[in-house]
Structure 1
Amino acid sequence: MPLLYVTDLAYPARGRRYGDEDVFLTARLREHFPLALCHPLDAEALLPAFDTVVVRNSGPVLHHQEAYDSFRAAALAAGTRVYNPLTGRGDMAGKQYLVDLTASGHPVIPTIDDPAHLSLLPASPAYAVKPKQGADSIGLTFTPHPDCAPGEFLIQPRIDFAYEVSFYFVDDTFQYALYAPDPARRWELVPYDPTPADLAFARTFIDWNTLTHGIQRVDACRAPSGDLLLVELEDLNPYLSLDLLPPEVQNTFITSLVRSLQSFGAS
């Protein structure tokens, strides 16, 4: 099963080395699949030559939104398998899910998208305001008095959390967790040993997303109450921080990914 692997090896991600991760990952995948790499701007033109496309560290879609939308439409029209599948309900579909999950009572950072609804949030001396179609903290500001266009921005109370933690899954199987002990250094990660309650929290959002195949990263923060709150459900092209893992965990992840891709290709 030939794979078209979409990545931007030169994307300058803050605190992460996209290119290094994809060089490592494609080297391991080549042991199991014929594979070609391409930039996201070239993906649509190359679609006809491949049955399966893997979208990985291609940078925030907002930097090439028109090309991504065209690629997505072409892949759906042609019936091309895209991994992760294009039915994701998390970041793949924008940030509206944070507003919806708040309204449905899920354990997420309380989120609204209209300053008129500020009373629905816990009182806070400052609020985080960020574009609903944002990524990588682009456009993020903090203000005591949110005043933004309804429906275009997310508004959240600024939470004095203890740390951020990420849970990584292939399909619905947990693989590993990493956390940032210093809240000011988001990408200085170390291994995290999750409790059963932590994993139950993360799996709530994996189940909610209903993807049968794919790599997902559940990002959360430890609130002052001690509870975990969802920060983001990354289901499009989550960075994996594979370089921080011991070899045995890397190998387990690769094995899970290969099996997932093989199953996806046969579906």
Structure 2
Amino acid sequence: MSAAARPRLLYVTDLAYPARGRRYCDEDIALTARLRAEFDLALCHPLDAARLMEGFDAVVVRNSGPVLAYADAYRAFRERALSSGTRVYNPLTGKADMAGKQYLLDLTDAGYPVIPTVDRAEDLHRLPAADRYAVKPKLGADSIGLEFVTADRLAPLADGTVLIQPRVEFSYEVSFYYVDHDFQYALYAPDPDRRWQLRPYEPTVGDLEFAGRFIEWNDLGHGIQRVDACRAPGGELLLVELEDLNPYLSLDVLDDAGRDAFVAATCRSLHGFLAA
């Protein structure tokens, strides 16, 4: 890329993915319209990314849907990008959802404030008592394969292929959105039964310390991440998910100033990523 040329980005999105409570197409149409002020952009479906990435300065993975639906194609994309040295944003070194759900087990073992998680029958005793337990595939996403069962059903299911967590009767879920290591905004769902009916949330210093621990742990130099947490009965926050692959941003909930600030931060991040 010459000094005078505008960076060329391949923006990966599944505009037709039927996300519950979200409209991927609206968010990505609006965001790419803003990014075009500083970058030359082409949009493509995740199934086409590996074939089309050549000739672009970077591939930006955004609302591409759960990779479980196209696992082989995603694996081929990663392998081709790594072998060719193609820049991918977020970088493919993410240790959280980008790499599956193993991180929830690792963070539990390391004593981080996460919903306690195990995957084998011999570790079930480490979970606190609960009326029901969440069982979900390690490679799952978007609640695919999630079920709630009583304690007497856990042992046969705990074979190492699933995650098992106590069902937490939380008061609300809250998400913290970051560009690089910089906090941008927070949103919460005051009704636990309506995950995607979000409102702006003003985080406390303690809230940001909580979320920042996971951003630091993941150690991505550049990229967009979302820290999802729940407010437990004791008032503490517990990590639900660290989304570092393609987090939905709920930009429609922000006011104009909030969207402007996020777009500016993303542009700075992309320019820094390309220059690194």
Q: Check whether the contact 1:115–1:155 (CA below 8 A) recurs between aligned residues.
A: no
1:66 to 62, 72, 75: 72
Secondary structure of residue in 2 paired with 1:151: strand
Counterpart-to-counterpart distance in 1, 2:200 and 2:72: 37
- TM-fit CA distance, 1:49: 1.7
Does 2:248 align with 1:249?
no
Counterpart-to-counterpart distance in 2, 1:110 and 1:149: 14
Does 2:28 align with 1:22?
yes
- Aligned counterpart, 2:207: 198
Counterpart-to-counterpart distance in 2, 1:243 and 1:85: 26
Give the length in aligned residue pairs. Answer: 267
- TM-fit CA distance, 1:51: 2.1
- TM-fit CA distance, 1:149: 4.6
Counterpart-to-counterpart distance in 1, 2:171 and 2:31: 32
- TM-fit CA distance, 1:116: 2.5
Does 2:187 align with 1:181?
no
Secondary structure of residue in 1 paired with 2:122: helix
Counterpart-to-counterpart distance in 2, 1:51 and 1:255: 19
- Aligned counterpart, 1:38: 44
Counterpart-to-counterpart distance in 1, 2:86 and 2:234: 45
TM superposition score normalised by structure 2 = 0.96
Counterpart-to-counterpart distance in 2, 1:115 and 1:161: 25
RMSD: 0.6
Q: Check whether the contact 1:84–1:235 (CA below 8 A) recurs between aligned residues.
A: yes
- Aligned counterpart, 1:92: 98
- Aligned counterpart, 1:116: 122
1:6 to 1, 5, 12: 12
Aligned partner of 1:222: which letter?
A: R
Deviation per CA, 1:57-102, whole angstroms, max 9, x where unpaired? 0100000110000000000001000000000011000000001100
Counterpart-to-counterpart distance in 2, 1:45 and 1:119: 48
Aligned partner of 1:78: which letter?
A: S
Q: Check whether the contact 1:167–1:217 (CA below 8 A) recurs between aligned residues.
A: yes
Counterpart-to-counterpart distance in 1, 2:89 and 2:228: 20
Identity of aligned residues (%): 67
Matches within 5 A, 1:128-139: 128-139=134-145
- TM-fit CA distance, 1:125: 1.5
Q: Check whether the contact 2:12–2:64 (CA below 8 A) recurs between aligned residues.
A: yes
Q: Check whether the contact 1:161–1:224 (CA below 8 A) recurs between aligned residues.
A: yes
Secondary structure of residue in 2 paired with 1:113: strand
2:148 to 134, 142, 145: 142
- TM-fit CA distance, 1:48: 1.2
